[in-house]
């Protein structure tokens, strides 16, 4: 298996887990790691939230040694707050600090953070420089293709990140205005790869082992990042690894095994977050896991009402009985 070096870490060139808000928590990261994710990145945390000692923000940074190599991701628009937050975040012992310059949601981009930094490349550079100077672990940056089709500037952003000391840059190949719709533009990942010397991580539309290999081959990127395709399907990482190693497709887990994986994930959620919050989070995860199964539409409605582990166990038993 080929590898890429980011900072002082050697990472296998299979696939990494993308930093998805309200999804890439510790339970999700551990499940993806169990199936061979090359590295994982946690949910984005507010720099100001950390600096003002917000407990919920700090909880996003809790890591487990099993996850390594892993990154924690920060968002913000002020270099001094980002630097202070990075120091706080580094106390949680992540392997990397990742800077979010790609989130398109209004509550983030509307405040000048996330993908709004694609409209102010000098500020993006100052933020990266401030964070790099503040911590002694590698700093990576996640960017987008640009703000919209009239301002495609991923290459400019990647160069600014590199010049400011970033150890790697991840490129989501859509504009902010696209959100998560439309096709990812793999050409922009290839252009960024040709324009900088630091490792480039490609992100967008990888939903299978074959599409992962295609991204590697087409763009020349150093690592591939998988996001939504891992939701309810953490075994995609083992499928990717197997295909890259052998050129052959790996069959997905059996229907029975998928239920076991789902149960393990939901129990981890409750272990880390408590049953009340864990089961609220479980609603979306169970719907993702059960997508495509017999009676999926009815099951999806039931997933939306889960409140206790007993509710989940009852649903699980009913599924098993109906599929016998």
Which residues are the active-site residues? 103
Cα–Cα distance, 276 to 26 (Å, whole number): 17
Q: Are 82 and 99 in contact (CB under 8 A)?
A: yes
How far apart are the C-alpha atoms of 98 and 73, rounded to whole Å?
Answer: 4
Please confirm whether the linkage preceding 293 is cis (ω < 30° from 0): no
Instruction: Report DSSP state, residue 6.
Output: E
3-state helix, strand, coil in the chain (%, to 5): 50, 15, 35
Number of other residues whose CB lies within 10 A of the CB of residue 275:
16
Sequence-ordered strand ranges (E) for the chain: 3-6, 9-12, 16-17, 40-46, 70-75, 96-101, 139-146, 168-175, 200-203, 223-226
Please, which residues bridge with residue 99 across strands?
74, 141
Half-sphere exposure of 169 (CA within 13 A, CB side): 35
Burial of 91 (0-12, 13-18, 19+ CB in 10 A): exposed
């Amino acid at each position: 298996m080929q590898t890429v070096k980011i900072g002082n870490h050697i990472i296998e060139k299979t696939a990494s887990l993308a930093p998805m808000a309200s999804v890439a928590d510790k339970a999700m990261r551990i499940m993806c790691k169990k199936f061979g994710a090359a590295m994982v990145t946690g949910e984005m945390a507010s720099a100001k939230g950390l600096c003002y000692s917000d407990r919920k923000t700090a909880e996003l940074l809790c890591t487990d040694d099993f996850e390594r190599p892993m990154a924690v991701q920060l968002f913000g628009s002020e270099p001094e707050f980002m630097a202070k937050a990075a120091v706080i975040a580094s106390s949680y012992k992540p392997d990397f600090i990742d800077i979010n310059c790609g989130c398109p949601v209004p509550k983030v981009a509307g405040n000048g953070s996330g993908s709004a930094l694609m409209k102010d490349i000098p500020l993006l550079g100052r933020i990266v420089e401030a964070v790099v100077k503040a911590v002694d672990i590698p700093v990576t940056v996640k960017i987008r293709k640009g703000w919209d089709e009239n301002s495609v500037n991923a290459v400019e952003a990647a160069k600014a990140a590199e010049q400011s000391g970033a150890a790697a840059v991840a490129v989501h190949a859509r504009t902010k205005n696209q959100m998560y719709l439309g096709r990812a533009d793999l050409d922009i990942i290839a252009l960024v790869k040709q324009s900088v010397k630091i490792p480039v991580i490609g992100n967008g539309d990888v939903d299978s082992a074959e599409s992962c290999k295609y991204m590697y081959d087409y763009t020349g990127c150093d690592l591939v990042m998988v996001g939504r395709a891992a939701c309810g399907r953490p075994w995609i990482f083992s499928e990717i690894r197997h295909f890259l190693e052998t050129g052959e497709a790996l069959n997905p887990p059996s229907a029975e095994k998928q239920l076991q994986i789902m149960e393990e994930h939901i129990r981890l959620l409750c272990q880390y977050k408590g049953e009340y919050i864990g089961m609220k989070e479980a609603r979306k995860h169970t719907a993702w896991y059960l997508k495509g199964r017999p009676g999926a539409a009815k099951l999806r409605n039931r997933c939306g009402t889960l409140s206790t582990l007993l509710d989940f166990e009852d649903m699980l038993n009913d599924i098993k009985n109906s599929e016998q």
